[in-house]
A = this chain, B = another copy of it.
Amino acid sequence: MARFFKKKDASIGSAPGSLIFIGTQKVDHSKIRVIDYDPNGLQELELENIRDGVPFKDTQTVTWINIDGVHDTELIKNIGDSFGLHPLVMEDIVNTGQRPKMEEYDDYLFFIIKMLRFDKEKQMIIGEQLSMVLGKTFLLTFQEQIGDVFEPVRDRIRKAKGRIRGTGIDYLAYALLDTIIDNYIHIIERMGEQIECIEDDILDNPTPELLQKINLYKREMNYIRKSIRPAREFIQRLANLDTDLIAETTTPFLKDLLDLSTQAVEVIDTYRDMLTDHLNIYHTGITNKLNEIMKVLTIFSAIFIPLTFIAGIYGTNFEYLPELHYRYSYFIFWGILLVVAVVMVNFFRRRNWL
């Protein structure tokens, strides 16, 4: 289950802090992009070498360095050394099987969070690990592959839309987290619509495919929940953190984000409950359908059983069987059969069995 642990067997007992890439390499070459801005100006460039990015580090401008691809441990090591990161931080960045978390270091905050997208082909949600290092004047983000949900944020920076250009690095970090949580909600909604969609089918036409769908949705909802719950935890800690890395004016935004993630968790739980209900209704549906069949067939058989018995009586070969010799016996016999059948059908009707 690569979705849970990604610890390579080779790494068991290896020295902590040693940089071993754990995960699936998703890009050929790591790509380093820098966006550097302040209220007055904006610079956007792609670096060949991380050393070119270091000068941005200590300027008063907001510097966002984004790295796509974390398989290149050499590069990560260089970045880590240039920006003074703890060995464990570097290890966590290249190990893509981490649980979302926040860690405080003296000069920076370190977050891990999952970016999710629904892969239509595999019919499952794919998580990508995003590591963020929030320093005083720089923000490092590490993604597993190219392509993310941050384009609207980049647009807002480029167009100086909203407050983003006028605020510090902490607001940028918030804006990225906000976008990720927004995206969670988008995915939850899409899944939610499908979950509600199947509701009507369940009672009427409970097929095994439906059961598999329900179980699939349940697993995916659990997966999202596992991503969002620890994220929510660290956003809560972040909103109450006593640090000069987060400006006081950013705190209300973080609290707002906390509300949003709390709501997301609640909605997930609502859908999980709904899926549990779906499962129960599914089983009720299955049972009802079978019961209906069995009931009708059993009643059907029950009606013919006495009729067959009566026919059996007059199939006997007794020498002295008076009824056999009357002229209208056969027609009376039919009459009796009909009466018995009608009486029985009525009986079942009156008892509400039909």
Contact = CB atoms under 8 A, between A and B. Distances in A.
A189 B5 contact: yes
A296 to B, nearest CB: 9
B4 A267 contact: yes
Interface residues of A, number: 110
A179 B11 CA distance: 10
A17 B277 contact: no
A134 to B, nearest CB: 17
A295 B301 contact: no
Contact of A293 (B218, B273, B295): B295
Interface in A305-353: 305-309, 311-330, 333, 353
A329 B333 contact: no
Contact of A185 (B7, B267, B305, B325): B7
A208 interface: yes
A13 B151 contact: yes
B14 A152 contact: yes
B311 A302 contact: no
A315 to B, nearest CB: 4
A65 to B, nearest CB: 20
Nearest to A171: B16
B311 A315 contact: yes
A305 B12 CA distance: 65
Interface stretch (A37-45, A74-82, A125-133, A279-287): A279-287
B314 A314 contact: no
A9 interface: yes
A48 interface: no
A304 interface: yes
Interface string A1-25: 1001101010111111110000000
Contacts of A321: 317, 330
A247 interface: no
Given A99-B259, A305-B301, A327 B320 contact: yes
Contacts of A333: 316, 318
Interface in A163-203: 163-164, 174-175, 178-179, 182-183, 185-186, 188-189, 192-193, 196, 203
A27 interface: no
B15 A163 contact: yes
Given A286-B288, A293-B298, 19 more contacts: A1-B189, A9-B186, A13-B183, A15-B156, A15-B162, A16-B256, A98-B263, A99-B262, A101-B259, A222-B270, A300-B305, A301-B302, A304-B308, A308-B312, A314-B316, A314-B317, A315-B317, A318-B330, A319-B326
7 contacts: A1-B193, A211-B284, A286-B291, A300-B302, A315-B316, A318-B333, A321-B330
Interface of A: 1, 4-5, 7, 9, 11-18, 86, 88, 91-92, 98-99, 101, 103, 149-153, 156, 161-164, 174-175, 178-179, 182-183, 185-186, 188-189, 192-193, 196, 203, 208, 211, 215, 218, 222, 226, 252-253, 255-256, 259, 262-263, 266-267, 270, 273, 277, 279-281, 283-284, 286-288, 290-291, 293-295, 297-302, 304-309, 311-330, 333, 353
What 5 A-B pairs are tightest by C-beta distance, nearest first?
Answer: A15-B162, A13-B152, A311-B312, A314-B316, A315-B315
